[in-house]
């Protein structure tokens, strides 16, 4: 049997290592790859001039592009008038190719400069304007693949007509901020629930007005700040009918839980007027392009001067002003190409690259994980017909030969341990309890390793990174339940000499209760193992781009093989080895991060204190938040259930030579928990300071 196992192990390892080698040569790439995938279709044989302020989104697997505005015959500096479109274009994807539907459809009326959002029910279109007025219409555009037709579905209209607004969605609630009404920017802030039970009688809810000056041409984007999913409002332009204009570069966060706004760091400017945005990951807001407003204000000043002298007789000065304005418009260098990223947790802004060209008043569409900037304005009056696709590169560095070799050696060692202890398995006592051969310190490491998983290694630093140390008291539960375990539970388990915790239920009550307990444990472990396997698979996928399912299957097979071969002894010794590796990796991470941070360890502590990242004693009596009392009591009962009744823990108490050894193994786990908890929380805080720098 062992020979067959060994051959099978070699085959599995060979398959895994080939996969890892195949993916270990990944090169450095830019954060986002941008390319033009197509252009808007020609109109009656004439190349499309492009559209600014169109609606765009995905419905039933196709991209819909509707409305928009451009200058058809003459440019604005030559007296051209803006044309508003009512056309709907359909872009289909077949494999890697994008093709236009030969048929075009029409909106009920021409419209541009509203806002569109992709939803499961269709492309939600809000507000806008045409050549006559600003609109309050809200509707879905849907693609019906069976009839190959467009469906328009009306929704409750906005409380007031709005154009140049910004909007975003959280769950099934749509939010609208700012916009233009009656020739002036506004502070309006509305929301509408678009869940399945909505009706036309439903009304938009008026929320607290956007802070600061009124604004249009702003950017509104939903994203998490580590504690809740909220809305980020950036930049814009404030103006009124009197001629007042101010370019805004401030930013705010709206908390749906608190129903209130808060200002972001005033030192960070966002020159992204009329720009684009999309969210990625759990903390990033991407802001590709936008207008700083510097050139706009110069053009505006010239227009004001021309208007001031226009009523007078023509003069050389007036002609020179008009010529200067025309030249400035024609020779405009275009809008910013910069791609800014705002980290909502560290509250920092970073430029991470450039677009092929700057573009504003263009919708951004998320289609199958890629981001599309649809047409738009590239300089005053000039549109582009191009559709730009951005593909985020998740892998930045090669996994490398050395890393692959270490991983291979680790896999081989796991299987060797399983093979080595397989020779000792002579009975069920050997297989399930190790026949009392396990040293107390190894059993203690195994207990600690059983509680220490990918959840600890990844989730705890992630929580400390995104919030603070409020959850640190969760692990204090083992300190509180240890006396109960030492004086009551362990003596009973050792005295009865049982194989599982659920065997006790049969002895004390009946076999039905044992089966209920066993089935409950199995179901719980299925859910837990899913998370424990998924998290490291996710990490491996990020650094190697190996398919997540392949990672999960590989780890599952390896664990299954060494467990079947070596029984509980193999499991305990592999646990002990993995504890050393995991804690060593965490400590190594701390040293590397400290080395990379300007100011080192003391800068981490200083920044963490100043930014309230080491908050451990939240004494508020609020059971809806991770306060000290909630976490402590939750940790106590969680630890009691885990260490007193969970088979993965109880089985390890039974593997030592005697009861004293079992007690020592529990105490080993308890004392290891204290420094390990501090290390993992410190890793998260250190990463926060590192990325903030």
45 vs 1, higher pLDDT: 45
Tokens, residue 573: 């010794």
Q: Are residues 205 and 132 in the same domain?
A: yes
**What's the 3-state SS for 225-268?**
CCCCEEEEEEEEEEECCCCCEEEEEEEEEEECCCCEEEECCCCC
Q: Are residues 205 and 302 in the same domain?
A: no
The answer, yes or no, to whether residue 475 has pLDDT greater than 90, is: no
Q: Examine residue 368 and state whether it is found in any structural domain, yes or no.
A: no
Q: Examine residue 382 and state whether it is found in any structural domain, yes or no.
A: no
The domain of 532 spans 440-688
The answer, yes or no, to whether residue 239 has pLDDT greater than 50, is: yes
What SS3 state is found at 476? helix
Q: Examine residue 306 and state whether it is found in any structural domain, yes or no.
A: yes
The answer, yes or no, to whether residue 200 has pLDDT greater than 70, is: no
**Contacts for 136-143: CB closer than 8 Å, 24+ residues apart:** 136/160, 136/161, 136/162, 137/111, 138/192, 141/55, 141/57, 141/59, 141/64, 141/66, 141/88, 141/107, 142/59, 142/60, 143/59, 143/60, 143/61, 143/62, 143/64, 143/90
pLDDT tens figures, 74-118 = 888 888 899 999 999 999 998 889 999 998 899 999 999 999 999
Q: Are residues 599 and 508 in the same domain?
A: yes
Q: Are residues 216 and 312 in the same domain?
A: no
Q: Examine residue 170 and state whether it is found in any structural domain, yes or no.
A: yes
- The CATH number that applies at residue 75 is 2.120.10.80
Q: Examine residue 204 and state whether it is found in any structural domain, yes or no.
A: yes
- The CATH number that applies at residue 492 is 1.20.1730.10
2 vs 605, higher pLDDT: 605
Band the pLDDT of 585: cuts 50, 70, 90.
confident
What pLDDT, on a 0 to 100 scale, did the predictor assign at position 219?
96
The answer, yes or no, to whether residue 13 has pLDDT greater than 70, is: no
Mean pLDDT of 641-652: 85
Mean pLDDT of the chain: 86
Q: Are residues 537 and 451 in the same domain?
A: yes
Q: Are residues 189 and 317 in the same domain?
A: no
What pLDDT, on a 0 to 100 scale, did the predictor assign at position 394?
61
The answer, yes or no, to whether residue 281 has pLDDT greater than 50, is: yes
What angle do the packed helices 659-692 and 477-484 form, to 10 degrees? 170
314 vs 182, higher pLDDT: 182
d(CA 362, CA 382): 13
pLDDT tens figures, 392-424 = 876 556 677 787 788 788 888 888 888 888 777
Q: Are residues 180 and 316 in the same domain?
A: no
Q: Examine residue 105 and state whether it is found in any structural domain, yes or no.
A: yes
- Asked whether the beta carbons of 606 and 678 are under 8 A apart, the reply is no
What pLDDT, on a 0 to 100 scale, did the predictor assign at position 7?
46
The answer, yes or no, to whether residue 342 has pLDDT greater than 90, is: yes
Q: How many domains, in total, are found in the chain?
A: 3
170 vs 306, higher pLDDT: 170
- Asked whether the beta carbons of 349 and 268 are under 8 A apart, the reply is yes
Q: How many residues does the chain have?
A: 693
Q: Examine residue 240 and state whether it is found in any structural domain, yes or no.
A: yes
Q: Are residues 196 and 318 in the same domain?
A: no
- In angstroms and rounded to an integer, the radius of gyration of the C-alpha atoms of the chain is 31
pLDDT tens figures, 504-542 = 888 888 899 989 988 988 898 888 888 888 888 887 887
What pLDDT, on a 0 to 100 scale, did the predictor assign at position 313?
61
What pLDDT, on a 0 to 100 scale, did the predictor assign at position 20?
46
d(CA 189, CA 208): 6
What SS3 state is found at 687? helix
Q: Are residues 316 and 211 in the same domain?
A: no
Residue partners of 323: CB distance under 8 A and separation at least 6: none
Q: Are residues 195 and 224 in the same domain?
A: yes
What pLDDT, on a 0 to 100 scale, did the predictor assign at position 500?
82
**Hey, CA dihedral for 448, 533, 584, 439, is it positive or negative?**
positive
Q: Are residues 322 and 464 in the same domain?
A: no
Band the pLDDT of 24: cuts 50, 70, 90.
very low
Q: Examine residue 571 and state whether it is found in any structural domain, yes or no.
A: yes
Band the pLDDT of 168: cuts 50, 70, 90.
very high
Q: Are residues 319 and 180 in the same domain?
A: no
Band the pLDDT of 22: cuts 50, 70, 90.
very low
């Amino acid at each position: 049997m062992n020979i067959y196992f060994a051959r099978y192990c070699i085959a599995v390892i060979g398959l895994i290592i080939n996969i890892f080698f195949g993916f270990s040569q990944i090169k450095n790439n830019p954060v986002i790859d941008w390319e033009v995938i197509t252009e808007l279709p020609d109109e009656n044989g004439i190349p499309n001039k492009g559209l600014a302020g169109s609606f765009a989104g995905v419905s039933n697997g196709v991209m819909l592009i509707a409305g928009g505005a451009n200058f058809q015959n003459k440019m604005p500096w030559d007296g051209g008038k803006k044309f508003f479109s009512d056309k709907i274009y359909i872009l289909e994807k077949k494999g890697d190719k994008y093709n236009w539907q030969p048929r075009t459809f029409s909106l009920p009326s021409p419209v541009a400069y509203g806002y569109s959002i992709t939803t499961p029910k269709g492309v939600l279109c809000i507000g806008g304007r045409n050549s006559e007025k600003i609109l309050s219409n809200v509707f879905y555009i849907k693609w019906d693949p069976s009839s190959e037709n467009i469906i328009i579905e009306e929704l409750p209209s906005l409380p007031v007509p709005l154009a140049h607004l910004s909007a975003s969605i959280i769950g099934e609630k749509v939010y609208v901020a700012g916009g233009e009404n009656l020739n002036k920017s506004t502070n309006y802030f509305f929301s509408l629930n678009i869940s399945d039970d909505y009706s036309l009688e439903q009304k938009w809810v008026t929320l607290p007005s956007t802070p600061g000056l009124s604004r249009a041409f702003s950017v509104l984007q939903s994203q998490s700040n580590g504690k809740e999913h909220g809305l980020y409002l950036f930049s814009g332009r404030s103006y009124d009918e009197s001629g007042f204009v101010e370019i805004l570069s401030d930013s705010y966060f709206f908390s749906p839980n608190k129903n209130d706004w808060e200002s972001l760091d005033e030192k960070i400017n966002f020159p992204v007027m009329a720009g684009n945005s999309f969210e990625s990951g759990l903390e990033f807001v991407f802001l590709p392009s936008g207008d700083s407003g510097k050139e706009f204000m110069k053009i505006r000043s010239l227009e004001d001067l021309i208007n001031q002298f226009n009523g007078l007789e023509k003069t050389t000065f007036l002609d020179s002003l008009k010529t200067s304005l025309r030249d400035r418009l024609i020779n405009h260098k275009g809008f910013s190409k910069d791609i800014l990223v705002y980290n909502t947790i560290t509250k920092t802004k970073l430029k991470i690259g450039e677009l092929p060209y700057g573009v504003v008043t263009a919708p951004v569409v998320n289609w199958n994980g890629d981001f599309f900037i649809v047409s738009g304005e590239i300089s005053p009056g000039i549109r582009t017909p191009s559709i730009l696709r951005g593909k985020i590169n998740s892998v930045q560095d090669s996994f490398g030969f050395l890393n692959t070799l270490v991983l291979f050696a680790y896999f081989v060692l796991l299987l060797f341990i399983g093979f080595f202890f397989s020779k000792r398995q002579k009975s069920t006592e050997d297989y399930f309890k190790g026949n009392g051969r396990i040293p107390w310190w190894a059993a203690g490491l195994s207990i600690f390793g059983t509680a220490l998983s990918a959840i600890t290694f990844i989730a705890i630093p992630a929580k400390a990174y995104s919030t603070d140390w409020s959850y640190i008291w969760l692990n204090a539960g083992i300190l509180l339940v240890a006396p109960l375990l030492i004086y009551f539970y362990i003596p009973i388990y050792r005295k009865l000499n049982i194989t599982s915790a659920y065997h006790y239920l049969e002895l004390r009550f009946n076999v039905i209760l044992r089966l209920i307990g066993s089935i409950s444990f199995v179901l719980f472990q299925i859910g837990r193992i899913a998370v424990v396997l998924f998290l490291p698979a996710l990490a491996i996928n990020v650094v190697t781009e190996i398919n997540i399912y392949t990672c999960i299957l590989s780890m599952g097979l390896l664990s299954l093989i060494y467990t079947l071969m070596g029984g509980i002894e193999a499991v305990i010794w592999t646990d002990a080895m993995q504890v050393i590796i995991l804690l060593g990796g965490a400590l190594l991470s701390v040293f590397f991060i400290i080395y990379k941070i300007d100011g080192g360890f003391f800068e981490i502590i200083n920044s963490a204190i100043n930014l309230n990242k080491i908050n451990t004693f939240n004494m508020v009596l609020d059971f809806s938040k991770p306060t000290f009392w909630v976490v402590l009591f939750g940790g106590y009962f969680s630890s009691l259930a885990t260490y007193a009744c969970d088979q993965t823990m109880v089985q390890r108490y039974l593997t030592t030579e005697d009861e004293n050894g079992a007690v020592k193994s529990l105490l080993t786990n308890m004392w290891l928990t204290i420094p390990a908890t501090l290390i993992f929380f410190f890793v998260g805080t250190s990463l926060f300071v590192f990325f903030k720098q």
